[in-house]
Structure 1
Amino acid sequence: MSENASPARTSPGTALVTGPTAGIGHSFAVQLAQRGHDLVLVARDRTRLEEVAAELRTAYGVDVEVLPADLVDRASLATVEARVADRERPIELLVNNAGFGMKERFLANPVDAENAMLDVLVTSVLRLSHAALGAMTERGHGGVINVSSVAAFLPRGTYAAAKAWVNSFSEWAANEYRPQGVTVMALCPGFTRTEFHQRMDVSQDSSPGFLWLDADELVATALRDYDRGAAISIPSARYKAITTVARVVPNRVLQRLQTLGRK
């Protein structure tokens, strides 16, 4: 190597992030790129994916692959599964971040819409985790971060039920696969300033200002928790307190309090 030549960049491995074009997913993509990870970005909108990919390549000099996919569609999901399971191009970290919610209560929503939400929040997490963990346990290292929600600790319909599954699955997988060198963690954010609530047509004025989190700070905390091997990450003292109370208060009482809050 000549005196003026730059040393070759060493990547800590490739991270695949679903839903990386905005909000928490975008913060994950940026902060993982800052750490030197090459990236695979998965979302439905190819144009926005390409924009984010170009931004990250320019800013951080990492390789970025875009993989347009609709996780509700089983054939499209299978394409992502195959990429996650690819032993020749290994994924070191899978971030299952894609998701959406619905403003209306259960019976006001078409059942197909409820099922589509379940496909994204549960089925895609299960199938992509299965693909990732198979490859990671074979080679003895890797990790999965599943973006859940503090709603998992509260009786709030099918969204909360789906996130409770994510927490339960992630905590089990963390203990099951830690001896094989794999880290699994559920991230449980509260209200976060992203496009998530805008897409639901829910104003950020709907909840007190002190409850709202910054996506970049949230992800920085999550990555620190992941680095130390946490199975569950709950960013901010206020949400740690809320989830602690929710664990000891009966669900029927919590549900009643939430009903009163909507009146």
Structure 2
Amino acid sequence: MLVSYQTLRARPADAQRQAIRLGEYQSHTAGLGKGCLQANVVITPAAYALDFMRFCQRNPKPCPLIGVSDTGNPDMFTLGADIDIRTDIPAYNIYRYGELADTVPDIRAIWNDDLVAFALGCSFTFEHALLEAGIDVWHISNNSTVPMYRTSIFTVPAGPFRGGSVVSMRMIPSERVDEAVAISSRFPLAHGSPVHIGDPAAIDIADLSRPDWGDPVPMPVTHTPVFWACGVTPQAIIRNAKLPICITHKPGTMLLTEVPDDADVPLFQKS
């Protein structure tokens, strides 16, 4: 039986993840996992794992690395007590030679002993702090997915991984932009402060009403568009990398971890 977003939002993070594992919830995770980091996910063959780790190290703003699996081991034990990377995300994108081949609810059928999973911090994490400060986050209030856009903000390449960054956008009341910047800056493992504020054309976004991923949002004249680095960046560079296989989360559907959202070191300590 499917669980509604509002019902799931009232549950603790471990129960939310269990519902996802059981296939009871397959939609966006904005507003879930309060108090803990959410994570973007990239899974590559082992032969490309070191290059991807270098890519994350060179591009910490769009790709803040918070966890890496052992080769072939789906247990992300540094992120929580019971996290199975094959089942604990609402939806997965499967890329083959740079092209999106399929979107599936779990990857047990294609997981193998040669794969390495990476978890990257997500801006959904600091949205709880924005809400607590009284700054409305429209896509959470309206049960939709944050808009995301390709940009001309180029990354530092590593091996086959290269290309422009992706950003997520939130319309912030103009008089509260400085406050939103200060709040998000407290979460460096969740992309931290914005990478751009204001004119989208300055980073080569032609039309805010047509995001590359996610849903469009209202753009009242009393608000300013604010852009944060986004962990969907790897999905934009995969076309250039042309790996035989690469698995990611479907944009907007994240991994819910047990790492505190204010952690300095993204390591879950088992007792």
- Bigger strand fraction: 2
Higher relative contact order (CA 8 A, sep 6+): 2
Structure possessing the higher radius of gyration over alpha carbons: 1
Q: Report the TM-score range of the alignment, normalised by the length of the smaller protein.
A: under 0.3
